[in-house]
């Protein structure tokens, strides 16, 4: 499965960010780096660049499973779809697990002043996933075992004196593209896991209902991470993905490797899909009720349409003391979700108003 291990709980020292390539990168005269070079597919597998920032250079690192290069030892194509036949767990199966029930109930009653400790907890091997939505045979869930890594910015002065308890799960989300969006984007966030979809629809070509009913299930690991906006009082849940990761995958010639049209295709664009959207007004909205999750999916599709954007998001690593400050500050209170206008409901209300006025006038 193409994912990055998120089990590390410590902020690495500077020399751990180079992946053995630090000497080559730092031999470059930083005075020549007047403009940051953004990583792209043409960069091959170089996974670190220096980005000028005031009187120093930040380190920008990334992982992209869809990058390919001659002589690379990376698996190609990435193992993002795991076929498990009828043995893979459905959302309803996960509902029956005690560890899932405990997790969901904890999130449902989570107070923001307790969120720093609860959301930064590494869930361990017992808790693999929790259900998000049930969508016409497709099961959406948070996979706690993996993560679609954003481009990560390591600013040495900002992290100076970082203690060993600083958690990698928390970071500051920074957009690199000033795109119009209907609601404020999250800034102070915590990573939960990957967005995974259990589905039969794995081919690029349309399939009949009969073909779908006979196809094996697979767990599709999407390119999106699931994050929580801890700067908002409701702690809404968002999905986010590296811009380059979406762009490269969209350009693949093998159609069977193309991404699934998640949320009824609401995230799709001509150039690889939007890279951020809100999918749940609050983490407290998670449910163990399959019928409620079906309603939540329809609401999520509308919420995605309202909040999706293309902003090229980066994650900036932060000091532990900054994280504590997030939870001490006054939270954001803007409304996350505006239900769509029901024109039938509006006409019905108007008809009732006219009828009541007529009855009052006839008395």
CA atoms within 13 A on the CB side of 43: 16
Q: Alpha-carbon dihedral of residues 265, 269, 272, 275, nearest 10 degrees?
A: -80
Specify the residue for token string 């929580």.
228
Q: Is the pLDDT of residue 17 over 50?
A: no
Q: Is residue 230 part of a domain?
A: yes
Q: Is residue 144 part of a domain?
A: yes
- pTM: predicted TM-score of the whole model, two decimal places: 0.77
Q: Is residue 24 part of a domain?
A: no
Average of per-residue pLDDT values in the chain: 76
Distances (CA, A) of 306 to 169, 187, 231, 248, 344: 27, 18, 20, 25, 21
CB 282 within 8 A of CB 236: yes
The C-alpha atoms of residue 114 and residue 238 are separated, in whole angstroms, by: 20
> Which of 284-288, 302-306, 315-319, 336-340 shows the lowest per-residue confidence on average (mean pLDDT)?
336-340
Q: Is the pLDDT of residue 100 over 70?
A: yes
Q: Is residue 311 part of a domain?
A: yes
pLDDT tens sequence across 255-309: 777 788 899 999 988 778 899 999 999 999 999 999 999 999 999 999 999 999 9
Domains in the chain, number? 1
How far is CA 351 from its chain centroid? 44
pLDDT value at position 28? 32
Q: Is residue 7 part of a domain?
A: no
> What is the mean predicted confidence (pLDDT) over 167-193?
85
Q: Is residue 345 part of a domain?
A: no
pLDDT tens sequence across 54-79: 898 888 888 887 776 544 556 666 66
Structure tokens at 278: 């809100």
State the DSSP string of 39-107: P-GGGTT--EEEEEETTEEEEEE---TT---TT--S-SS---EEE-GGGSPPHHHHHT-HHHHHHHHHH
Q: Is residue 59 part of a domain?
A: no
Radius of gyration over every alpha carbon of the chain, rounded to an integer in angstroms: 23
Structure tokens at 11: 């902020």
Structure tokens at 196: 């995974």
**Domain assignment of residue 320, given as a range:** 79-331
Q: How many CB atoms lie within 10 A of CB 239?
A: 28
Q: Is residue 31 part of a domain?
A: no
CA quadruple 52, 54, 58, 60: dihedral sign:
negative
């Amino acid at each position: 499965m193409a994912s990055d291990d998120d089990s590390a709980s410590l902020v690495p020292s500077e020399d751990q960010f180079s992946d053995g390539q630090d000497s080559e990168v730092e031999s470059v005269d930083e005075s020549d780096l007047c403009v940051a070079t953004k990583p792209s597919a043409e960069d091959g597998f170089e996974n670190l660049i220096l980005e000028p920032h005031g009187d120093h250079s930040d380190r920008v690192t990334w992982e992209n499973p869809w990058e390919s290069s001659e002589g690379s030892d990376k698996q190609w194509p990435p193992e993002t779809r795991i076929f498990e036949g009828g043995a893979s767990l459905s959302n309803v199966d996960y509902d029956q697990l005690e560890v899932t029930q405990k997790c969901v109930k904890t999130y449902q009653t989570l107070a923001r002043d307790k969120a720093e400790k609860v959301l930064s907890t590494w869930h361990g091997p017992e808790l693999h996933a929790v259900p998000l939505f049930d969508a016409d045979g497709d099961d959406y869930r948070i996979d706690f075992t993996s993560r679609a890594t954003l481009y990560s910015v390591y600013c040495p002065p900002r992290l100076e004196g970082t203690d060993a308890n600083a958690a990698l799960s928390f970071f500051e989300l920074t957009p690199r593209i000033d795109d119009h969006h209907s609601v404020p984007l999250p800034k102070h966030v915590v990573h939960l896991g990957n967005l995974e979809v259990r589905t039969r629809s794995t081919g690029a070509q349309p399939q009949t209902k009969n073909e779908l009913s006979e196809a094996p299930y697979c767990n599709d690991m999407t390119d999106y991470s699931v994050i929580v906006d801890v700067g908002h009082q409701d702690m809404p849940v968002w999905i986010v993905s590296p811009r380059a990761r979406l762009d490269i995958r969209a350009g693949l010639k093998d159609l069977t490797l193309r991404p699934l049209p998640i949320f009824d295709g609401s995230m799709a664009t001509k150039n690889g899909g939007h890279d951020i959207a809100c999918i749940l007004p609050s983490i407290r909205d998670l449910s163990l009720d399959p019928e409620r999750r079906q309603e939540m999916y329809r609401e999520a599709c509308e919420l995605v349409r309202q909040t999706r954007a293309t902003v090229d998001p980066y994650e900036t690593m932060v000091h532990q003391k900054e994280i504590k400050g997030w939870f001490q500050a006054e939270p954001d209170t803007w409304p996350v979700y505006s239900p769509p206008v029901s024109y039938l409901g509006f006409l019905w209300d108007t008809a009732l108003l006219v009828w009541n006025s007529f009855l009052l006038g006839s008395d």
